[in-house]
Amino acid sequence: MYTSTLLCDRDLALSVPWREDLKRHQDWDWLIRLGREGDVEFVQCPSVVAHIQTGSSNSISAGTDWQASLAWADESLDDDAVYVDFVVGQTLRYALTARSGRGVSAVLRRIAQRRRVPAIGPSVLGLAGIVPRRGLERLMTREVVTPAGG
């Protein structure tokens, strides 16, 4: 879910405030804490509600701060399967993008400690850190051209 597309009641947002102390994963953290509230339901609207601009140099997700990502996972994710999928899909991607052997080693150690095999989807996402971000953005924004009459 893109953060800019999330909508909720003002009272709910005030009762579960956004953690401004986090360097990244504020949206993940907020959604997890909302999910722990007793009477919250997440609904996805099938309509297009936002146009997402890729390639912003100021985007937090464009950064490679794998340490902050790993610290957040260590603090916030208790379920072993969720933890392993997260650190493979997010933290490993940041470490690979940063070309940090230390980051890759830290992620692999955490996976071994949890004794879980990550799911294929997060694994593919994590390994995408090998590909330069501009290349991924081009792939993600490429228009599909359908043949005339087809």
Tell me, yes or no, whether 65 and 118 share the same domain: yes
Domain range for 10 is 1-52
Report field, pTM of the whole predicted structure over 0.75? no
Query: What contacts 24+ positions apart, CB below 8 Å, involve 85-91?
Result: 85/118, 85/119, 85/121, 85/122, 86/28, 86/122, 87/111, 88/118, 88/122, 88/123, 88/125, 88/126, 89/118, 89/121, 89/122, 89/123, 89/125, 89/126, 90/25, 90/125, 90/126, 91/66, 91/126
If asked whether residues 70 and 129 sit together in one domain, one would say: yes
In terms of domains, do 135 and 63 share one?
yes
Per-residue pLDDT of the chain (150 residues; tens, 9 = 90+): 677 778 888 888 888 988 888 888 888 899 888 888 878 888 888 887 776 666 555 555 666 789 999 999 999 999 999 999 999 999 999 999 999 999 999 999 999 999 999 999 999 989 888 887 666 666 666 655 566 665
Type of residue found at 62: A
- Digit-coded pLDDT (tens) for 43-73: 888 887 776 666 555 555 666 789 999 999 9
User: Residue 43: inside a domain, yes or no?
Assistant: yes
| Residue 150 belongs to some domain of the structure | no
Number of domains comprising the chain: 2
